[in-house]
Amino acid sequence: MIHIPVAPVLHQNLSRLPLFSFQRLLPAPRRFRIHLGAIFFLLLVVCLSPGQVHAQLSLGQFTVSDEIELGRKFNILVRSRMAMVEDPEILGYTEEVLDRLQRQMPPQPFPLSVGVIRHGALNAFAGPGGHVFVHTGLFQNLENESSFAGVLAHELAHVSQRHIASRIQKSQWVSIGTLLGVLAGALLGGDAGPALLYGSVAAGQSAMLSYSREDEREADQVGMNYLVKAGFKPQGMVQSFETIRKLRWLGGSMPVYLSTHPGVDERISYLRDRVDRMPESIRTRDEDNTAYQRARMLVMAKYTEPDKALSFFHRGELDQCLNLLGRAIVLDRNNRINEARSAFDQALACSPDDPLLLREAGAFFLQLGNF
């Protein structure tokens, strides 16, 4: 396998791109190198795609059309290089939360989309042109719907405030193709999938740090507006940051760029104060976590290491019937067929009319030829 080092100019300019706001709060991984095959793939995307748009950013021009074109290619890049979740229950739920938040946003010049990436990092990011992605790590680490929605609301605020477009414009790139090439230098690296999302360089340019702090602060403020107007509990955004802070502590020291980024403690303090000043009717909202629990169960059962998943279901953190179903799915993954059969029988006895349970149990018994 041939690797070439990322050119210094890519490192210099890459840190100006605010694609991974939540990931920035966690310990930065090691530097990555570009896989040569990824470069060839990227050149095909850029050069052969119809209607290639060139944004002459040296003249200060980066239009909505340019962002849409960049977003289209970026979306292709992510979905072709990352393992994506295809389960309709997980995707459908994520899209419902996005739609609920989107209805609180002002009209956008492009449609929004969301994808779920199979990776355990607690991360979400908004790419150009309204393409939002979340990791399965959100479901694994966040305990309730409002926390999950809080992360999405924060990322949607980056979209509505056009933070990415503004950053690109200030970066003075020559063309869409050049910009996408810079993104590829960060996103298509070694270690296969994870490198696509961990490409931002920790040692960012000091000239851009002030702008980044303003972006994140505004995303907190505007995102909280979307969260509250959509009917979610405002405490969810606070809880999501508290979870990130906990994982940051577990991860050890932060690189220089993250140490100059707005502190998590500061942002939690601001959000807590804002929640405390909200009317009691908003602060004490009821929360229905049923749909979130179902999506979370599937992520834990299908996309989490079996030992960790079995431990999770053994702790009984979800509804009893969902715990039984999740355990059955994991046992099947481990080829412990007899135990899986017993667990599916218990789950069916617990909730015989649940469509999701019937779907999973039906698939299991079908593969056994027992139907």
Establish if 359 belongs to a structural domain: yes
Same domain? For 154 and 61 the reply is: yes
Same domain? For 56 and 113 the reply is: yes
H-assigned helices in the chain: 8-14, 36-48, 64-81, 88-102, 136-141, 145-160, 163-171, 176-187, 193-197, 206-229, 235-251, 256-260, 264-276, 280-283, 290-303, 306-315, 320-333, 337-350, 355-368
Q: What is the mean pLDDT of each run of 10 residues along the chain (371 residues)?
A: 36 43 48 43 46 45 87 89 95 98 97 95 86 94 97 95 83 61 44 37 32 79 98 96 77 35 75 97 95 98 98 96 98 97 98 97 91 58
Rounded to two decimals, the pTM is 0.80
C-alpha 167/C-alpha 28 separation (Å) is 21
The predicted structure's pLDDT at residue 263:
65
Domain that holds residue 332: 305-368
Same domain? For 336 and 210 the reply is: no
C-alpha 110/C-alpha 114 separation (Å) is 13
Residues 6+ apart with CB under 8 A from 62: 55, 165, 168, 169
C-alpha 356/C-alpha 326 separation (Å) is 11
C-alpha 305/C-alpha 119 separation (Å) is 11
Same domain? For 253 and 310 the reply is: no
Q: How many CB atoms lie within 10 A of CB 283?
A: 13
The predicted structure's pLDDT at residue 163:
86
**Among candidate residues 252, 283, 314, the one where a domain is terminated:** 283
Q: Are 92 and 170 in contact (CB under 8 A)?
A: no
Same domain? For 130 and 250 the reply is: yes
Same domain? For 312 and 278 the reply is: no
Establish if 298 belongs to a structural domain: no
Q: How many structural domains comprise the chain? A: 2
Structure tokens that stand for 88 in this block = 């309709």
Same domain? For 329 and 278 the reply is: no
The predicted structure's pLDDT at residue 59:
44
The predicted structure's pLDDT at residue 174:
54
The predicted structure's pLDDT at residue 121:
83
Establish if 290 belongs to a structural domain: no
Single-letter residue type at 327: R
